[in-house]
Amino acid sequence: MASPAPAATGADVRAVSSTVGDGGLADPLLAVGNGGAATKQESGAEGKYWVPADEAERRAATESGGEDGRPLLFRKYKLRGAILHPYRALIFVRLIAVLLFFVWRIRHNKSNVMWFWTLSVAGDAWFGFSWLLNQLPKFNPIKSIPDLCALKLHYDLPDGTSKLPGIDVFVTTADPINEPILYTMNSILSILAADYPVDRFACYVSDDSGALILYEALVEVVKFATLWVPFCHKHCIEPRAPESYFELVVPPRIGRASEEFVNDYKRVQMDYDDFKMRLNKLSDTIHKRSDVYNRMRTPEGDAQATWMANGMQWPGTWIDPTENHRKGEHTGIVKVVNGSEVDANRNPSFNTTDVCLPMLVYVSREKNPNYDHNKKAGALNALLRVSALLSNAQLIINFDCDHYINNSQALRAAVCFMLDQREGDNTAFVQFPQRFDNVDPTDRYGNHNRVFFDGTMLALNGLQGPSYLGTGCMFRRIALYGIDPPHCRPGNITAKYGNSTPLIDSVSKAIKQESSTTPPSLDDTFVSEMEMVVTASYDNGTDWGKGVGYIYDIATEDIVTGFRIHGQGWRTMYCTMEHDAFCGTAPINLTERLHQIVRWSGGSLEMFFSHNNPLLGGQRLQLLQRVSYLNMTVYPVTSLFILLYALCPVMWLVPDEIHIQRPFTRYVVYLLIIILMIHMIGWLEIKWAGVTWMDYWRNEQFFMIGSTSAYPIAVLHMAKRLLTKKGIHFRVTSKQTNSNTDDKFADLYEMQWTPMLIPTVFVLVANVGAIGVAMGKAVVYMAVWTAAKKVHAALGLLFNVWIMVLLYPFALAIMGRWAKRPIILVVLLAAVFLFFGVIYVKVKVDASAETNQPQPKKSTAAVVAAAAALPRRTEHPKALLLSDTTRHQAAWWTASEVPSGLYNDE
């Protein structure tokens, strides 16, 4: 639990002295000034594995005064040679080892089941290819750290004004059911309180449900923001989402903090509690108000409309749905919720601070069942057009409704990359890593995904730049408009932007980097123009969703939008901050998490089979950047071969022995070496990426769970699309939590069964059963097995145990709330092992009893003669290998009756 200090420097939080001056109780994290957090960031970035990579550039800029008068606004760091060179060398060595292993398998094409051998060789070839696709783009990781001191020095003027560019912030929400209103309002409050000039940014909220409750929640947000925003600025509060702040901070006491801060804190907390109560009552308030107005103003039998507080009918969805007012069918709505100064009487204790709020706009695009609404991409493009008419900011940043600004200077950090003299003008977007604050401490289902965000993305930062990840990404508006970067921009613009003349004019202004400092007059004509650009049919006959804006006709609009921008020649940047820029809410329920994975992986495959195929599209894409996109689009196919291997135990549950490759011992040893080298490379990656072994291990475990459930389903979806032309069904990930318990992680223990989990259950049962059968075989055969056969059994058992350990989180999910005591799983597995072992022994004993009926006794010599007459395998000249049937019968001879040399094996 943090201290009551509203800000902290670094990971630890210090107590606040009551002697702090008027500037606040503590300097904000990443505060600008001598010895501020920017210095801490640089030293932290340099650290043990990273060294500055831009010293020559900085010296040249200092000597010349800057190429175009602009400063260098971020620092670049590269890996030290002591870790980079071994990393690259190990990748090369493993590549050679994989090739040699593959050649060895082809030359020794011997197996008990040749069709399985063929599939396994194809799988090994694919594994090697996909590994290479994943590894090649990681040859030159680069870390970029914003220089906030330089930004303040050059763009914040002494008179309190600023030369910073304008920013339009987009927040998208689908409905208030799956995405709780409180999450969305906290996201908006954190945006309104961000450390950025209030006249330089605006917030646009897209509501796809068209529900009055979200609009009225925004009205309540503005009321509370008049207290919350000045409180944040005055006391340098972090984070600036009130729900997260009040959860993390211990209520202050006099002596630990100043009396002024304690009084302000209590007042704001009390007001926030009232704010949440008003949000909870909104639904009832709207119902009661609408009932009153419907009785007063509508004739008997007319539709029961929904009424706003000002006595106007709500044009969106109604409580009692009717034609043109039901979910998925309503008119477009654009309303400016706030654009004026705050009432100073509401916050008398903060009257010395800036009491202005950024412009806040509610947008609900028209829904019509006759048109495809293009999911989230359609909502973002509607916001793009409305914002062009109202503010036309040079920069745009978008958030999912469950993400909030965790570091108040995050917007400034992204701007550093956009204004830098080196690549600023050619930078299309700046992507931040995604962080989550509702994940269970053990991160059972790998929600943090730090191997990707802190490893793969840093590697791409050394190429043409990271891909777009859907949220927490700042764009240059003209890059979204489909306009080429300056170094390869044609003289004319040929894109089709629709029939709105003001919108087309705004495109020309955007190219010239002109923005509206004050919103235009909101007369009826202008409001009609804004509502026109959010109609369902506006995209028809235009380039929206194709070469302009966010791309349509794919389940994952983010990756293909980033690909289109990279293909035009733009570069992108990855911004990391010591104090995370943004935080969000992840689906910690396994089923919801897997549904999310199905959509992501299915969308990736859709991209591969579209005109945005990385092999064919993007004429200005760099080679390794193309390789990285190819890896992002084909990785789900790997799951088919993983599923094949994971189901192997089914084949040897009953037979005595089946070899996928002979000689088996050498095959397994080679395989173990190959796998060990993967983890050695992974060890080096987690060193320079700064992730833990637990993060790495959770990534491995969840990939196995996904490879036996979500990824194969995505492949089936893609096959269906190719045959029927129907794409992935978009399913909004539910962020609702179990409200009937105080357990923050209650959803973690809720198991929602779905058909996609059947293969995972089957794999788990097969491998657990195989371990039990192995125990039974040990009881039956141990007396007659040779050392070679014991080694084979141990190696096969190692595979089963490895699969079972990878599926450990899934086993916990099946247990539900019992998983709170993992010892129960250990006891349960032991019982299941014993069950399968006993069943196997019982079957063998019964079969032996039937086989060993009284027979004419044969001499040992006769038995040896019969064995010698059987077909022999010739891979080892000294081996006498019996068929499975003969081995089964011979296993029941006593040790004294077994002929010498009968079980010599390879």
**CA gap 83, 582 in Å, rounded:** 30
Closest Cα partner for 358 from 190, 485, 478, 213?
A: 190
Characterise 898 by phi-psi region: left (phi > 0), alpha (psi -120 to 50), beta (else): beta
What does R_g of the chain's alpha carbons equal in angstroms? 32
CA distance 48 to 51: 8
Catalytic residue list contains 284: no
At 635, give phi and psi (nearest 5°).
Answer: -60, -30
96: Cβ–Cβ under 8 A, 6 or more apart, which residues? none
* 234 in Cβ contact with 350 (< 8 Å): yes
Q: Distance between CA 883 and CA 413 in Å, rounded?
A: 70
Please name which of 378, 441, 471, 569 lies closest in space to residue 171, comparing C-alpha atoms: 471
Phi first, then psi, for residue 462 (nearest 5°) are -85, -5
Which residues are bridge partners to 427 per DSSP? 571
Is 207 one of the annotated binding-site residues? no
- Report, in this order, helix, strand and coil percent for the chain, each rounded to 5: 50, 10, 40
400 is in an annotated binding site: yes
Backbone angles phi, psi at 254, to 5 degrees: -60, 135
Q: Does residue 5 sit in helix, strand or coil?
A: coil
Q: List the structure tokens of 176.
A: 């208030």
CA dist., res. 250 & res. 4, Å (int): 5
Look at residues 70, 44, 20, 146 and name the one whose alpha carbon lies nearest to residue 409: 146
Look at residues 540, 210, 561 and name the one whose alpha carbon lies nearest to residue 377: 561
Distance set, CA 288 to CA 99, 136, 209, 285 (Å): 72, 62, 21, 5
Phi, psi torsion values for 317, nearest 5 degrees = -75, 140
Terminal C-alpha separation, the chain: 61
Residue 568 tokens read as 């035009």
H or E element that contains 528: helix 524-532
Given the residues 27, 54, 147, 208, the one annotated as active site: 208
* Length reported for the chain: 906
- Among residues 344, 350, 318, 351, the alpha carbon closest in space to that of 333 is found at 318
Active site (annotated) includes residue 208? yes
208 annotated ligand binder: yes
Strand 359-364 and strand 333-338: the pairing is antiparallel
- Separation CA 296–CA 313 (nearest Å): 13
How are beta strands 395-400 and 427-431 bridged, if at all? Answer: unpaired
Contacts for 443 with CB less than 8 Å, ≥ 6 apart: 694, 695, 698
Strand locations in 37-166 (E): 50-52, 74-79, 142-146
606 is in an annotated binding site: no
For residue 372, the SS3 value is: coil
Are 192 and 229 spatial neighbours (Cβ–Cβ below 8 Å)?
yes
Annotated catalytic residue: which of 168, 420, 443, 558? 558
**Using CA atoms, how far apart are residues 268 and 231, in angstroms rounded to an integer?**
8
Q: Where is the binding site for Mn(2+), in residues?
A: 376, 400
Q: Report the binding-site residues.
A: 179, 208, 375-376, 400
Residues in the annotated binding site for UDP-alpha-D-glucose: 179, 208, 375
- Residues tagged active-site: 208, 558
